[in-house]
Amino acid sequence: MAKYTLIASRDPFESREAAHYADLASDLRKAGNDVTVFLVQNGVLGARKSNASAPLSKLAREGVTVLADAFSLRERSIPTNRLADGVKPSEIDVVVDHLAEGRKVIWH
């Protein structure tokens, strides 16, 4: 089993690539890998509880860890109690820990 951290920084409302990235995370998890999606910068905009956040909640139900950068959330005035089901706020140092651990990291 490999370990992956997928970092999503693009606004899902401006880029169709966000859906493909969610599919990649899902496929990696279904293949038995440990997968974390870390939302940062404008990537956190899709983490607000709405119809648009359904793919993130689905990933969480599939066993993907879905994290949203706390600083990016604050910068965009998104309170943590408004996050979609399964999305957890986190500090960016999680990414540093994952890099140090030797995870495969993909930045989008």
Give domain limits for the chain: 3-107
64: nearest Cα among 94, 27, 97, 92: 27
pLDDT band at 52 (very low <50, low <70, confident <90, very high): confident
What is the average pLDDT across 26-36? 97
Residue 74's pLDDT is 97
pLDDT band at 46 (very low <50, low <70, confident <90, very high): very high
Residue 108's pLDDT is 82
What is the average pLDDT across 72-101? 96
pLDDT band at 5 (very low <50, low <70, confident <90, very high): very high
Order of strands, sheet of 65-69, starting from the edge strand that comes earlier in the sequence = 87-90, 65-69, 34-39, 3-8, 104-107
pTM metric for this prediction: 0.94
CATH, domain range 3-107:
3.40.1260.10
